[in-house]
Structure 1
Amino acid sequence: MPLTFRKSFRILPGVRLNINKHSWSLTTGGKHGPRHTHSSTGRRTTSMDLPGPFGWRRTRTDKRH
């Protein structure tokens, strides 16, 4: 089993800094409502928990020049 590194810090209420081995990301939003994640690799994700065992996620990756 490979070892991985991942750490999440709460900066302000509703704002988290997520760090892993290759990149970092900033997540805004809370449990109730949409969450927006902006990654250092250019990926942007919007996700939301829906009632029951459902969830919704939209991911967009910006092209780097």
Structure 2
Amino acid sequence: MAWKFRRRVKVIPGVHLNFSKSGISTSIGVKGASVTLGSSGAYLNTSIPGLGIYNTVVRPG
């Protein structure tokens, strides 16, 4: 099993910096809907909080 690393830091409410082995990304949004921008592209993340239902749309960069 390979080790993974991820760290998330809140900058201001609704904005997070994400640090991982593959690089740094930024997430902007609220609970249930966010956009993540990073070196591998942009992701639109939507979910229904509390139900575990989610969807991610990837736009390669």
Task: Pick the aligned partner of 1:48 from 41, 46, 49.
Answer: 46
Whole-angstrom distance in 2 between the partners of 1:12 and 1:20: 20
Map 1:1-65 to 2 at 5 A.
1-32=1-32, 34-41=33-40, 43-50=41-48, 52-62=51-61
- TM value normalised by structure 2: 0.81
- Extract unaligned runs of 5+ from structure 2: none
RMSD: 1.6
Read off the aligned partner of 1:59 and give its amino acid letter.
V
Describe the SS at the equivalent of 2:30. Answer: coil
Whole-angstrom distance in 2 between the partners of 1:45 and 1:9: 18
Whole-angstrom distance in 2 between the partners of 1:10 and 1:28: 10
Task: Indicate the percent of aligned positions where both proteins have the same amino acid.
Answer: 27
